[in-house]
Structure 1
Amino acid sequence: MSTPAHAALLDAVRRHAQAHADTDGIARTPIPGLTTVRATAPSDLVYAISRPLACLVLQGGKQVTMGARSFAFAAGDSLLITADVPTVSQITRASLAAPYLSLVLELDAAVIADLAAEMKTVLVTDSAPVRVDQTEAEVADAALRLMRLLDRPASVPVLQAQLVREMHYWLLAGRHGTAIRRLGWPNGHVQRVARAVALLRAEFARPLPVDRLAAAAGMSPSAFHQHFRAATSLSPLQFQKQLRLIEAKRLMLSEGASASSAAFAVGFASVSQFTRDYGRLFGLPPVRDTAAARNQPKRPTGSSAERRSRLTPA
């Protein structure tokens, strides 16, 4: 996508990211759910349980893997994630001269439900939770107008809601529509599983009996297991374990926690079990991972930020 609108959106995202990005390249905006991302070097692999989002890539390139499927995308492409699914991502093309730049919008299930009802759309149940396609002109145009609000702060509280709604509308009306509709289906399996996912994210360090999670979803334990795995590709126990391991890695690499203190902080009762599970997920035992991090200079802005804060609302 090389059009005047794309160039204008790229410039708006670049300016905001340069002015506001943190050390990970994440620059939140005053518009809830809208974030810009900047990276000046290729990143390491980033493990996350991603939240539903749309990511418009404006410069550079990235790869995301879910299960056995990998998706490579670059400027002019959009990544869509429509469920809380485990992903491994890596920024593959970025430099000081041409940073990786993207705009991320969290998908709002309430907005989707309202729009889907007005549009009288039909539910499709077999859509893949991760998709990549070209960014449609209407989506990019709505995104540009959202970014332009930031230059006029007084306009943000007045106009942000209708422009966020419009961007959701064009996503629903476009190529990604069938996948997005599942998020807003009233009391559908995806929304019911999402209630259990919210509980897991909030209390991942505590023991969470399946009966309690199933009750949160309004399902029997057997139906809950089936629909949870269908929505997330993981069992509830595997989901909680990945949340714990991802947070433990953050504690060790970002806050200097020891492997044992990180293990206990995220809810592991055994350091040896933590070490085994950590190695299976990340490919290195925690001690080697922290040692490697200490011996290498921190990348300026290399982290993937489509994950936002991994354990808080994205």
Structure 2
Amino acid sequence: MNDLLDAVRRHSDAHADAHGIARTPVTGMTTVRATAPSDIVHAISRPLVAITLQGRKQVTMGSQVLDLSAGQSLLITADVPTISQVVRATLAAPYYSLALELDAAVIAELAPQMQAARAEHVLPLRMLPTDAEVADAALRLMRLLERPEALPVLQASLLRELHYWLLAGRHGAGIRQLGWPGGHAERIARAVARLRSEFARAWAVEELAEVAGMSASAFHRHFRATTSLSPLQFLKNLRLIEARRLMLAEGANASSAAYAVGYESVPQFTREYGRLFGQPPVRDVAAARLRAA
């Protein structure tokens, strides 16, 4: 793991943005760096695996709280609302992690070849020790960043190998459900993709159920079981998280951010924003900017 930490450190120190995120040319792979404990971050995370390499981070979904330290992997197998915070990081010993979004198409191809049984429903948020084979494949992907001429040739095969070791390892049962054709996870993922791309429009549950190819009652039940939220609660969280980004990153005021994400009432937006983030938008954004100064 020390070699993987060194590779992630080199890339992060050279390329991290103001938020500590360093994107890579490898599809879906990013590194994260923090030199101090972070603010609380609300997100609706995509399915991914994140390997903690140094420091400590807490991730919460509902009543479930995971405390991630070096050598542990976080697996997220559905688009679920999370609250996360880096809780141990210093300038001398920064927090470092490596995150990879999971590719359902690759999983759907590999699982039958591995003769893997259909997975039972498992929690969408899990923490386990990182398998040695996963860390090794991740290290070779990171080293590929320093050989850009080899990236177009080797990236796909190394990503496929990494997915193989994830399926074969401790996280396999949770990951298999992502690629099961026609399964509930795959159907709910179709509806989530539409919500993510068209969050500003008004949606009826019946429309989303049609996207998923399910009855409205079955869709509502499986959506909540998969994401922990009802479809309309999920949409509301998407809108509020995007509105906060618009205000912090693009300087939008509260009313323009509210209308941009699909709200028709600014007072309603203000109430719901306060419930999610703990204070009204103007006060929350001002406090966030003061902490970042």
TM-score class, shorter: over 0.9
Tell whether 2:151 aligns with 1:156.
yes
Deviations 1:36-59 (A, max 9, x none): 111111111100001000001111
Please say if 1:231 is aligned against 2:254: no
Matching residue of 1:186: 181
Q: Distance in 1 between matches of 2:176 and 2:43?
A: 23
Aligned pairs for 1:63-142 within 5 A: 63-142=58-137
The SS at the match of 1:47 is strand
CA shift for structure 1 position 127:
0.8
Residues 1:56 and 2:51 are matched in the alignment = yes
Residue 199 (structure 2) aligned to one of 199, 204, 209: 204
TM-score, normalised by the number of residues in structure 1: 0.91
- Post-superposition shift, 1:211? 2.0
Shift in Å, 1:246: 0.3
Partners of 1:293 and 1:39 in 2: CA distance: 16
Instruction: Name the CA distance, whole Å, in 1 between partners of 2:119 and 2:172.
Output: 10
Q: Secondary structure at the match of 1:207?
A: coil
Shift of 1:60: 0.7
Q: Which amino acid aligns with 1:89?
A: S
Aligned mates of 2:143, 2:178 — CA distance in 1: 28
| SS of structure 2 residue aligned to 1:79 | strand
Question: Which shifted more, 289-298 or 172-181?
Answer: 289-298
Q: CA deviation at 1:178?
A: 0.5
Q: Unpaired segments of 5 or more residues in structure 2? A: none
How far off is 1:34 after superposition? 1.0
1: CA distance between counterparts of 2:289 and 2:34?
21
Moved over 2 A (4+): 293-298
Would you say the 8 A contact 2:273–2:281 is kept in 1?
A: yes
What is the Cα deviation at residue 125 of structure 1?
2.2
Q: Is the partner of 1:205 in helix, strand or coil?
A: coil
Contact map agreement 2:77 2:125 (CA 8 A) in 1? yes
Question: Take 1:242 and 1:297, find their aligned partners in 2: how far apart are those partners?
Answer: 24
Q: Deviations over 1:156-211 (max 9, x none)?
A: 11111111111111111111110100001011110011000000000001112222
The separation in 2 between residues aligned to 1:211 and 1:129, in whole angstroms, is 25
Structure 2 equivalent of residue 277 of structure 1: 272
CA distance in 1, matches of 2:41, 2:219: 29
1:35 aligns to 2:45 (yes or no):
no
By relative contact order (CA 8 Å, sep 6+), the higher-ranking structure is: 1
Which amino acid is the alignment partner of residue 221 of structure 2?
Q
Q: What percentage of aligned pairs have identical amino acids?
A: 69
TM-score under structure 2 normalisation?
Answer: 0.98
How far has the Cα of 1:295 moved from its partner? 3.3
Measure how far apart 1:214 and its partner are.
1.0
**1:221-279 Cα deviation digits (max 9, x unpaired):** 11111111111111110000000000111111222211111111111111111111011
Distance 1:295 1:143 in 2: 37
**Displacement of 1:92:** 0.6
Cα offset, 1:291, TM superposition: 2.5
Aligned to 1:25: 20
Q: Does 2:256 match 1:265? A: no
1:287 to 282, 286, 293: 282
Work out whether residues 121 and 177 of structure 2, in 8 Å CA contact, stay in contact via their aligned partners in 1.
no
SS of the counterpart of 1:206?
A: coil
Partner of 1:172: 167
In 1, the alpha carbon distance for the partners of 2:122 and 2:285 equals: 39
| Code of the aligned partner of 1:255 | E
Q: How many Å separate the matches in 2 of 1:90 and 1:224?
A: 32
- Conserved 8 A contact 2:59-2:83: yes
Could you list the runs of 5+ residues in structure 1 that have no partner in the other structure? 1-5, 299-314
CA shift at 1:293, angstroms? Answer: 2.8
Once residues 229 and 125 of structure 1 are traced to their aligned partners in structure 2, the CA distance between those partners, rounded to angstroms, is 16
Q: State the alpha-carbon separation in 2 of the partners of residues 296 and 151 from structure 1.
A: 35
Kindly tell me the number of residue pairs found equivalent between the two proteins.
293
Q: Flag the 1:88–1:235 CA change in 2: closer, same or farther, 3 A.
A: same
d(CA) in 2 for partners of 1:118, 1:294: 50
The one-letter amino acid paired with 1:163 is L
Match of residue 210, structure 2, among 198, 206, 215: 215
TM-aligned CA deviation for residue 126 of structure 1? 2.3
